[in-house]
Structure 1
C-alpha cells in the first residue's frame, strides 16, 4: 500500500556526502528492505537497531526495535485500509519512533525511506527527531526511495558507498544482475503472444494492484503486466477492470501478509461472483505468494521474486529457484474448488 513520495531517492540531511575518513560504526535501520541490504553487505556487526517490521535475516531477532505501528495489523484487510485512510486524512503518522531508545543507542547513521508513508516511518518524522535531539546531532540520515528494481540495485551501490563498503556492494549487485540475466535469457525466446497476462494483487479488500517495481519484475519474468505502471504507486482497482483484463496468471500477495495470513482472508476475493470469470481461476493458475518477504520490500530478495515469478509464469522453462529454501512457505497454489 502506497502514498506519495516525499524527497530525493537517496541523501543525507547532514551533508552532501558521508564522511570517508573512517568507517561508520553504528547503524539504525528503520526499514526492512534496508536491513536486508545491510546484512547482505556484511554489515551485521554495525547494525544496532531495526524497525518493528524487520524479520530477515533471522539474526535480526536479537536487535533492538526502535519503531512501532499505530495500526492494528490483526484486523481484517478492510479494517486495516480504513485505519490507514482515517489516520492519513488526519495527517497522523502510522508509525512511531522510540526516541529514548534511539538516543541511548546513539547510531552514527540512520537508514530510512522516503518512498511510502504507509510502508514505514515517515522520512520527515526521522528528520524532525534528529534535528530536535542533541544526542543525535552528529547522526547522518540516509534515505531510500526506489520506484523500480533498477533503483533498488542503485540503492545497494549507494548504501555501500555511504558506509564505506563499495566493493561489497559492487559484488552483491553483480551477483544479483547475473541471476536476473539468467532468468531473462531463459524467457527471451518466448514470443510476445505467448507471454501471459499477469495480475498481482497487493491488497484484497479493497482491491489493489501491485505497482512500483512489480511491473518490471513481471516483465523480466516473461509476463505481461498492464494494470499498473512501473515506477508509479499501487492503484486501487475495480473488479470490473480485473475481469476485463482477464489475467492468465494471478498472484495474491497482500502487503505485509505471509502465505498463511493471506489464506486466512482469501475468501474476500474467492467468494465474489467475478472470481470464477477469470481465466487464471478457470485454468488453476492462481497462487498465494508471501508478499511480506518477496514483493513489498525493495531489497535484494526482489531478485528471488523475479525467479519465483518466472517459475510461476513459465514453469516449462524455469524451475523452482534455488534461492528459495522452502517453496511451501514462499508460495502456494490456490485450489480451484
Structure 2
C-alpha cells in the first residue's frame, strides 16, 4: 500500500507541466469529432484509416514519425494502458507498468517497472516500435529513452479535453481512429448528461465540496480532478489554490464543506488509519457540516486519479455523491 500511495502522489504531483507544450498537442473536446489530422477516409466513410508516414508531436513538443501502425507497444502508465486496451490493441501490448491493473488482461502482460522511471532493460527486451509515457515520467527520463532510439510518445493531461485528445491521438497513431472517436463520443455523452443535470441546480443551492485524494492532500484549480467537481455542479473549496496541495486543516474547518469526498480503500502510512477515519477524527472536524450530516463519501481512486477512458465513470461517481437526489433510479 505504501508503494501504491507513493505512486499516486508522484503521479499527481507530476501534473504540473508546461502549459505551452501541452497546447501543441491539444484538441478541444467540442471539436474532436471533426479534427482528424493526417487521416483519410477508407472505402466506408465511417471507417477512417490513418495515412502513413504519419508525423505527430507529443505533449512535450517532440516530433515523431511513424512509417506504419505500431505493432509492438509498451505503456509505462496505467492511464495510457487503459486507453490502448479500450482501442482494442491488447494483442499489440508487449509491456505495461508495475501498477497497471485494468483491464484484467493487463495483469498478464510483462512488467516494465515503475511509472516515473521504467526499467530500460525490460523495455529493450520488449522490442517496441512505440513506447507511451504518462504524466509521471520525468522529462530527463523521457529524453534518455529517446536517446535509445525508442519512439516515445509522452502525454501530460491536465484537463478533461486533454484526456479526450490523448485518446484521439493514440487512435490516429495506431490506426484505430474510428474506435477512438466512438469512445470519445461516449465520454462526451456522459459529460453531457452530468453537466445538464448540474445546470438545473440554482447557484444558491450548489454544494461546497472538499476532496482528499491521498492522506493530507487535496486539489485546486487547473487540474482535471477539480474540473470534475465543477462539471458535477459542486464548488471545490480549494479552488482558490492551484494544483495539488497539502491541506490546511483549519481552513477546511473554516470553509465548512457540505460534502467530503475521499479515495476509497486508502490507509494512512503514518497512523495506520483508513482515510475516512483519519478525516473524521481530526480535531475540530466534527463541526464540519459534511461530517455532522454524514455526507462523507468514498470514490474509487483509479476512476478520478487516472486520466483515461474511465474518467467519466469517476465524474458520475462524484456527481452522485454530491447530488444523490438528481440521480435516483
Q: TM-score, normalised by structure 1?
A: 0.75
Corresponding residue of 1:186:
197
Corresponding residue of 2:218:
208
Would the aligned equivalents of 2:237 and 2:257 in 1 still touch at CA under 8 Å? no
Of 266, 270, 295, the match for 2:304: 295
Corresponding residue of 1:251:
261
Corresponding residue of 1:150:
161
Would the aligned equivalents of 1:195 and 1:223 in 2 still touch at CA under 8 Å? yes
Q: CA–CA distance in 1 between the matches of 2:309 and 2:240? A: 21
Residue 69 of structure 2 corresponds to residue 23 of structure 1:
yes
Where do 5+ consecutive residues of structure 2 fail to align? Answer: 1-8, 26-56
Would the aligned equivalents of 1:202 and 1:210 in 2 still touch at CA under 8 Å? no
**CA deviation vs aligned residue, 1:190-239 (integer Å, no higher than 9, x gap):** 1011110011112223x433651012111111211231369x42122211
Q: CA–CA distance in 2 between the matches of 1:122 and 1:303? A: 27
Of 34, 37, 45, the match for 2:91: 45
Would the aligned equivalents of 1:112 and 1:123 in 2 still touch at CA under 8 Å? no
Corresponding residue of 1:33:
79
Of 285, 288, 300, the match for 1:278: 288
**CA deviation vs aligned residue, 1:56-96 (integer Å, no higher than 9, x gap):** 11110110111138xxxxxxxxxxxxxxxxxxxxxxxxx43
Helix, strand or coil at the partner of 2:324: coil
Q: CA–CA distance in 2 between the matches of 1:26 and 1:6? A: 29
Residue 177 of structure 2 corresponds to residue 161 of structure 1:
no
Would the aligned equivalents of 2:230 and 2:236 in 1 still touch at CA under 8 Å? yes
Would the aligned equivalents of 1:246 and 1:279 in 2 still touch at CA under 8 Å? yes
Would the aligned equivalents of 2:145 and 2:152 in 1 still touch at CA under 8 Å? no
Helix, strand or coil at the partner of 2:250: helix
CA RMSD of aligned residues (A): 2.4
Would the aligned equivalents of 2:266 and 2:274 in 1 still touch at CA under 8 Å? yes
Would the aligned equivalents of 2:74 and 2:96 in 1 still touch at CA under 8 Å? yes
Give the direction of change, closer, same or farther, for the CA distance of 1:260–1:298 in structure 2 (3 Å limit). Answer: same
Give the direction of change, closer, same or farther, for the CA distance of 1:218–1:189 in structure 2 (3 Å limit). Answer: same
Q: CA–CA distance in 1 between the matches of 2:285 and 2:106? A: 39
Corresponding residue of 2:123:
102
**C-alpha deviation, 1:17, in angstroms:** 4.2
Give the direction of change, closer, same or farther, for the CA distance of 1:15–1:218 in structure 2 (3 Å limit). Answer: closer
Corresponding residue of 2:5:
none
**CA deviation vs aligned residue, 1:218-274 (integer Å, no higher than 9, x gap):** 1111211231369x4212221111112111010012xxxx52647734433322112
Would the aligned equivalents of 1:123 and 1:143 in 2 still touch at CA under 8 Å? no
Residue 206 of structure 2 corresponds to residue 198 of structure 1:
no
> Where in structure 1 do 4 or more consecutive aligned residues deviate above 3 Å?
9-15, 207-211, 260-263
